[in-house]
Amino acid sequence: MSGAPKLDLTQPGPATASRGGVPRHIAIIMDGNRRWAEARGLPVPLGHKAGAEAARRTTEACVQQGVGWLTLFAFSSENWLRPAEEVVALTGLLRLYLRSEVATLVKEGVRLRVIGDRARFGEETMKEIARAEAATAGGTRLNLTVALSYGGRAEILAAAKAVARAVQEGRLDPAELDEAAFARHLYTEGMPDPDLIIRTSGEQRLSNFLLWQAAYAEFVFQDVLWPDFSAEHLEAAIRDFGRRERRYGARTG
């Protein structure tokens, strides 16, 4: 649905209890750019710039940790309601990131994918996104997904409409619809669900992020503001994850 290249992967189903290790898929709600800037008496756009640098560090750290999938919540559908100058700064930073980071992503074997309503960013940015996705399509070390103009409820609603059209057009028998079939209509088609969701800045909520996909994710909330997020914070979250027993609703013993 997002227009991104399709990935030839299957959804892993939660079947048995499992314990820790390195998460296959980490998703991060990157929160705290504004507060970081305000605490230093800096313009808010500089907070977002520092946040982009933290995203770069985190991507590198995930490669080093052997994480296969990283999803970053960069711009929500609700962020369009922010002051116009902040939105302009954010979208400009996005285009700069896409232009400046592609060569590094290719070199490091990182495949970039963007999910969300990319059309809201305009034709120029859409072209930049498509070029970046195409240039990094051969990456095999890390699948980096960036959620832009993304909202979990809107994603589920769009999937429901797609299912309804398929039924109306005779391409889908409603009796054959199950969770796996429904998930194929989500932006995250072909991606494994997140094992671990990290939120920075001390807030403890999902904020409309990956609502369907987060059904059995583990959560780690950290007080650090996103621009200060480091490889050490990532390692701490992974260690926390590794101590947990994941039962997926089943009983053990």
Tokens linked to 124: 């120029």
Catalytic residue among 8, 33, 79, 173: 79
Catalytic residue among 8, 31, 195, 240: 31
| SS3 label, residue 209 | coil
Tokens linked to 13: 């189903």
Spatial distance between the Cα atoms of 213 and 194, rounded to a whole number of angstroms: 7
Catalytic (active site) residue 31:
yes
| Residue 57 vs residues 147, 173, 204, 246: alpha-carbon distances, Å | 18, 46, 23, 28
Instruction: Please say whether the beta carbons of 87 and 79 come within 8 A.
Output: yes
User: Please, which residues bridge with residue 110 across strands?
Assistant: 142
Burial 120-155 (b: 16+ CB within 10 A, else e): ebeeebeebbbebbebbeebebbbbbbbbbbbbebb
Active site residues: 31, 79
